[in-house]
Each structure stands twice: as structure tokens, then as C-alpha cells.
Amino acid sequence: MLKRGLMVMLLLAAPVSLRAQDRRIFDAHMHVGSSAASAAALAAMLDSLQVAKAVYIGTADAIAKADTSRFLRALMFPCGGGTLPNVGTRCFADGREWPDTAWLRQAVMDGRVQVFGEIGAQYMGIAPDDPRLEPYFALAEELQVPVGIHLGIGPPGVAYGMGRKPSPAYSGFAGDPRSLEPVLVRHPRLRLYVMHAAWPSLEAMTYMLYMHPRLYADLSVLQYAIPRLAYVSYLKALVDAGFGDRLMYGSDGGARFMKEGVRMIEEADFLTPVQKRALLYDNAARFFGR
């Protein structure tokens, strides 16, 4: 009897993973590879993990190839020097850094762009409340286009020229989520989510989620960019603060990191099966209206 009771206690204490047949994934932050091999690896991983929907982030040319039955086409901008941060791929054919708003409006109307983001202004040292971003927030609110904005960390040493493409203007001050507050107050119907949950700005992110009930955040990059314990403690703090219904899974790296991000959520012993399903699918489905 004692042995049986011990077994029950161990089972109750063990992390509850979702069964494969119960799992559905909505990736709120996926970047695209350019090679046939990376595309094949991505397709295989999407099928194996049962990824039903994904926000497919890239240049206008890259996202034009996306299958809209599974992907939401997300345009990344602005582009310092006319190219994507960390990559160097040209964003627009004419080399511009910012998309023309008339062109962007038409692209939304035609279904060529369904999400604004990743808004990578932080790579240029531009904070969310900078006037240069205002026309895009206004357009997104008017057309009810979801917006994802990069806040928090970038590649270590990116301001010093480390990595594929240096961003010497990258600024932690420009990544403070509290600088979103005037934007959200000015645009109360704006559908906006903070990418990377602005790690490591826990206090500021908690404040913003508490004060702005329409604000969401994704957990992308954290599953591989920071130590596992740091990821778990940050996620737990946000869930314990009551925001588990506004956090979304994101891979931020395609097939290579997709599986790890799912595993981190499924193995979190402080999450219930309902909470895991919410983070992996339900919250994003609600936010993006899919």
C-alpha cells in the first residue's frame, strides 16, 4: 500500500507533457531559411510537431512564397542600411529602410502582408515611442493588423560587430517595454505583442501586461539564447503574475530551435495541461484571430 502511494505521489509530481495527438502548435515568431535544405527541414519539423499555424517573418520577397493556409505573412522592418538585422539580406528592391505606407496599405489589402513585424527598430537604436514608428502603428490600428515588436535582447556583441551583420546602434534603452505605453494609450485598439517577452526586463514587462490588457508577448529565442533555468524562472514569474493567457510560443530560428521551444513548455512542471495548450496554441489563435 505504501509502495502504491509513493508511485501515485511520483506521478503527480512529474511534469505533464501533452500527448502527441492532443498537441497543436501556433508559432508566433518564425524566421525563414533561403535554401532548399532549410525549407525541407522546416516542413518536416512543422509536420512532426503538428504546427498548424505560424507567423512567417521575412522580406516582402520571402514571405510572398508562403502558403497562407498555414502561414501568416509578416513583413520585417525597419532595415538599417536597407538590409535585415543579423542577416544582411536586402529588405526592399529600392534599398529603402522603411516601407512606404501607401504601398504597405495596399499590400495588406491584397493579402501580401498580414502582420507588421518583426519591428526591429531597436537594432537602429529606435524606441517604440519614436515618431518614425507612429505612421505604422496608426495604420496597423486602422486595418487591425497584428504587430510584433522586438524588445529586450539581441545577439551578444552585435553592437561591436560580432555576428553576421553588426548593429552598432543597438540599444537596451530602446528595448524597454515601458516605452510602449504612450503608443498603446494613443492607439487603444492596436493588436501588439512584445517579442522575446522583453527579457530580462521582468519588472517592466509585468507592469505593461498588468496595465495594458490587450498586450501579449511571445517567448521566442529564450529557449536557446539564455540558460534553461533563466528561461524557466522568467516564464514562471509571468505565469504566476497571472499572464499565462497572453504568452505565446515562438521558435525564432526555424526548424533547428522549434522542437526545443516546444519541449521547454511541455516539460515545465509548474504548468497545467490547459496552460501548456494555451501557450502552444490557444493564446496565439485568439490574438491573431485564426
Rounded CA gap, 131 and 251, in Å? 30
Residue 40 scores a pLDDT above 80: no
Alpha helices in 187-279 (DSSP H): 202-211, 222-225, 228-240, 255-266, 273-277
Rounded CA gap, 39 and 41, in Å? 5
Give me the pLDDT at residue 5, please.
Answer: 45
Spans of all domains in the chain: 25-288
Q: For 50-95, write each residue's pLDDT tens digit.
A: 999 999 999 999 999 888 999 999 999 999 999 999 888 999 999 9
- Read off the pTM: 0.91
Q: Would you call 194 helix, strand, or coil by DSSP?
A: strand
**DSSP character at residue 281:** I
Q: Would you call 140 helix, strand, or coil by DSSP?
A: helix
Q: For 98-144, write each residue's pLDDT tens digit.
A: 999 999 999 999 999 999 999 999 999 999 999 999 999 999 999 99
Length of the chain: 290
Reference 214, options 174, 238, 237, 246; nearest CA is 246
Q: Would you call 77 helix, strand, or coil by DSSP?
A: strand
Domain boundaries 25-288, corresponding CATH code:
3.20.20.140
Rounded CA gap, 160 and 167, in Å? 8
Place of cell 528561461: 231
